[in-house]
Structure 1
Amino acid sequence: MRPVPTDPDAYREWLAEGNATQARKRVAADVLIRDPAGRVLLVDPTYKPGWDLPGGMVEVNEPPHDAALRELGEELGLEIVLHGLLVVDWVPPHGPWDDQISIIFDGGQLDDHTVSSLRPRDDELSAAKFVSLGTAMSMVRERMARRLDASFKALATGRTLYLHDGRPAL
């Protein structure tokens, strides 16, 4: 029987049981950052093949936007303001991984001084560079290329896009 909110202890216990049995999602929070020429910032992680957008995995009970900003600070020494949400992508189970939610925030455009001083700050990245969108699309994995393309569409329309495995879902 479902307890009622008027029995606070029983109700809290029932909610905790539900919380323990519901699915938990991995969440990735990346950031689309451009330079004054409109090129895209890519990073080369040391722990996986290929180039990627800056960002990373959200920690337990951490808001995704905080995770994105934390990762930018740790890996690149960047402190920026996020300008909104571009993409939400549900990624189905693949390889050893369960499904996940991947988010891309708009990190705006960096000034020339910040661009020229940008470099990896920890051992999770071997390189960081700005490249044209076309070049970026060929450097990242296929799923990320679809997300990156959708991010630019979201920028152009001012509308967040919801994707399913990198493809429009709605």
Structure 2
Amino acid sequence: MTADEPLYRRDPEAWRQHLAEGNAKQARKRVGADAILRDPQGRILLVDPDYKPDWDLPGGMIEANEPPLDGLLRELKEELNLELAPDQLALSCIDWVSPHGPWDDSLMFIFDAGRLLADQIAQLEPDRDELRRYSFVEPAQAQQRLRPYVWLRLEAALKAAESQTVAYLHDGHPA
């Protein structure tokens, strides 16, 4: 070992400490995950949360150290009593959202779950502590009800799902 070679290159404990120090200093991002859920007619499920002024896609914020897909499945169960298997969802969109208002930047994922079966829809039960209601709507209605940046993200995710690709966006626009 040369005099200018960092100690952690040869010492596993020093390496662990070096990584821990870097981890403590690196940025942490908020992460959210939403789902595109459709009824048999192809209409999109939107939810009306009681804690924000606009309709939204079902889903929510991911907890620390939770994979986005797992967090989405948890949120769907909590918010709508909907249980889906991981293989029922396909990633359609990742949107990097720049800092805004009191928020730092975030990564927002949209997963496409396809069409729900009639019995799945019949069992939907919104969590009354979070949601006022839900509704299946045509894309034009979704555009009217969603915040503009959420609509841009959904629109890109729908196009990506049709082409079996994944959209990568910055603030709702292609990067």
| Fold similarity call, TM over 0.5 | yes
Structure 2 gap ranges (5+): none
Query: Equivalences for 1:91-110 in 2 at 5 Å?
Result: 91-110=97-116
* Partner of residue 17, structure 1: 21
Q: Which residue of 1 aligns with 2:96?
A: 90
1:13-162 alignment, distance < 5 Å: 13-81=17-85, 82-162=88-168
Aligned-partner residue type, residue 129 of structure 2: D
Aligned 8 A contact 1:58 1:67 in 2: yes
Alpha-carbon distance in 1 for matches of 2:7, 2:135: 56
**In the TM superposition, what is the alpha-carbon distance from 1:122 to its structure 2 partner?**
4.0
Report the alpha carbon displacement of residue 17 of structure 1 after superposing the two structures with TM: 0.3
Structure 1 unaligned spans of 5+: none
Aligned residues: 169
Q: CA deviation at 1:5?
A: 4.2
How far off its partner does 1:112 sit?
1.7
Q: Identity over the aligned pairs, expressed in percent?
A: 53
Deviates more, 1:4-13 or 1:25-34: 4-13
**CA-CA distance at 1:141 after TM superposition:** 0.2
The 3-state SS of whatever aligns with 1:113 is helix
Residue deviations 1:111-143 (CA, integer Å, cap 9, x gap): 122223323024111111101111011100000
Structure 1: which 4+ aligned runs deviate by more than 6 Å?
none
SS in 2 for 1:94: coil
**Helix, strand or coil: the match of 2:7?**
coil
RMSD, aligned α-carbons:
1.2
Tell me which amino acid in the other structure corresponds to 1:92. S
Q: Is the 8 A contact 1:87 1:151 kept in 2?
A: yes
Q: Is the contact made by 1:2 and 1:14 (CA closer than 8 Å) also made in structure 2?
A: no
- Normalised by the length of structure 2, the TM-score is 0.92
**If you compute each CA radius of gyration, which structure gives the higher value, 1 or 2?**
2
